[in-house]
Amino acid sequence: MNVETLAIVGVGLIGGSIGLAAKRRGLARRVLGVGRQQSSLDRAAAAGIIDEGLLDPVLAARQAEIVVVCTPVDSIAEQVLAIAPVCPPGTLLTDAGSTKARIVATIEPALPAGVHFVGSHPLAGSEKQGPEHADENLFQDRLTIVTRTAATEPQALEKTSTFWRALGSKVRVMEPTEHDKALAFTSHLPHLVAAALAGALPGAWGELTASGFRDTTRIAAGDPALWTAIFSQNHAAVLDALGLLLDRLERCRECLSAGNWAALNDLLVQAKKVRDALGS
Amino acid sequence: MNVETLAIVGVGLIGGSIGLAAKRRGLARRVLGVGRQQSSLDRAAAAGIIDEGLLDPVLAARQAEIVVVCTPVDSIAEQVLAIAPVCPPGTLLTDAGSTKARIVATIEPALPAGVHFVGSHPLAGSEKQGPEHADENLFQDRLTIVTRTAATEPQALEKTSTFWRALGSKVRVMEPTEHDKALAFTSHLPHLVAAALAGALPGAWGELTASGFRDTTRIAAGDPALWTAIFSQNHAAVLDALGLLLDRLERCRECLSAGNWAALNDLLVQAKKVRDALGS
């Protein structure tokens, strides 16, 4: 893949890592970064993450062959629809948001002819934020989900998949609602659980935590505003996922109350099997 | 501290790490390991974890100045009471179990005169098992809780604290029931939650997990039998801790159902504050 100009709207951890990977892998001849603070963009340019920083997404979109919007999920659709009218025909717009259904459903009916949007979600990230944590290998061997709907243009889908593969990622195509249902369980629910566990910790016991508590709650350090937006966009599926977990915790509670250690052991054996299969 | 002979009953990850640390730090002149398989003890001896492996805990206890019992929590009291009658006067017995109240309460009234038991719990470990993962720095800068009751002999308490400090650990003295209440939340509950989350994962979605799910469920890979024993020994406190978590998850559910994003954001902000304060 050889892109003349790639524009990244939102140069944080994900956007910065896309820029770094695109430059280091020779995927794009020129990488434009769009942000809200020139000083932050200048630092990203100095760090080799982007070639040039612009405050106006429209100026960047006019020049770009591919635009990746890496802003919080509650602003992605708005950003895409703001730049789509100025994009040259054939421009590919995509994103990196953790939710897909609402974003795709908002964008697709409002897109001008000749400009394509394909939803993306790279399953990579960190509780850390900001371009200073950008990592050119962030997507290496990770999975990126690329969404397809009845309105998705096949060539745009193919180009989006090629783009993520060129960044080192594996690609899986899913429908937006199927994505949101699965990620509600595999990503959004763990965040809720980690936050509930950390938040309920009585203050005096912080000293008495060890690696188990720290691993289990690590992602609770993520940005609250970003996660509130994710929960808001995907609340119905998160409620379903939470229901699955609460059912399981209720079974644990029954085992503890009844002293049914054989049944509790069975639950732990089954959980270990699942966890072992995921690898480290 | 200079111990002539240290005996370790149960040479797994914790027992093996105690042996390795004691030898590398010159804490004990001789380290005896007690286990159920001579071949496993021979491997531990070959790896420099112990000096000699014995199948009979009584033979080891007869020679030791300090005996640390590192078997699963449901066999610690039995092991201690089996060897206590043959120990020379002044022998210090301690353990490394994740629960304390039932162990201490079982041992104390049954101990022969002149032999002392002080409960210990080093807050260090891993989902990995076995002496092949022994780490001489496992206790370095970690906290070990040492228990005190009305029956605890002050010199034995002091010697136990000195022992763990010599292994690199910080030490905090607590009552056994106070320990169990706190650890129910900071250690036993995270295990239950990790197992519930891993166990409830629909099979087809395993591929769609990333580092968030993996961190949050990592400890679910721990040994089910060891953990069932811990839950059995500390079920009342674990039920209380689970209640605190379920209350918090219920608040999250209400926020998701009602679309109360400001309140959900507040919960995430508070959780992040707690998690950030714990450090990595």
CB B137 within 8 A of CB B167: no
Which contacts (CB < 8 Å, 24+ apart) does range B204-208 have? Answer: B204/A182, B205/A182, B205/A185, B205/A186, B206/A274, B206/A277, B206/A278, B207/A143, B207/A172, B208/A123, B208/A143, B208/A145, B208/A182, B208/A183, B208/A186, B208/A187
pLDDT higher than threshold 80 for residue B125: no
pLDDT higher than threshold 90 for residue A76: yes
Average pLDDT estimate for A123-127: 81
Mean pLDDT of the residues in chain A: 96
A274 to B145: CB separation less than 8 angstroms, yes or no: no
Query: How do residues B197-218 score in pLDDT, each as one tens digit?
Result: 999 999 999 999 999 999 999 9
Question: What is the interface size between A and B, counted as CB pairs within 8 Å?
Answer: 282
Mean pLDDT of the residues in chain B: 96
A256 to B224: CB separation less than 8 angstroms, yes or no: no
DSSP secondary structure letters along A162-207? HHHHHTT-EEEEE-HHHHHHHHIIIIIHHHHHHHHHHHT--GGGGG
Q: How confident is the model at residue B122 (pLDDT cuts 50, 70, 90)?
A: very high
Chosen from B99, B197, B230, B254 to mutate, greatest number of chain A CBs within 10 A: B197
Residue B93 forms beta bridges with which residues? B67, B117
Chain A nearest-CA distance from B160, in A, is 19
Q: What is the pLDDT of residue A131?
A: 87
Average pLDDT estimate for B4-15: 96
Q: Which residues, in sequence order, are CB contacts of B183 under 8 Å at separation 6+?
A: A208, B98, B99, B121, B145, B234, B237
Chosen from B172, B191, B201, B226 to mutate, greatest number of chain A CBs within 10 A: B201
Query: How do residues B144-156 score in pLDDT, each as one tens digit?
Result: 999 999 999 999 9
Q: Closest CB to A261: pick one of B211, B214, B232.
A: B232
Query: How do residues B62-103 score in pLDDT, each as one tens digit?
Result: 999 999 999 999 999 999 999 999 999 999 999 999 999 999
The pTM score is: 0.94
Q: What is the pLDDT of residue B132?
A: 87
Q: Token pair of B255, please? A: 């926020």
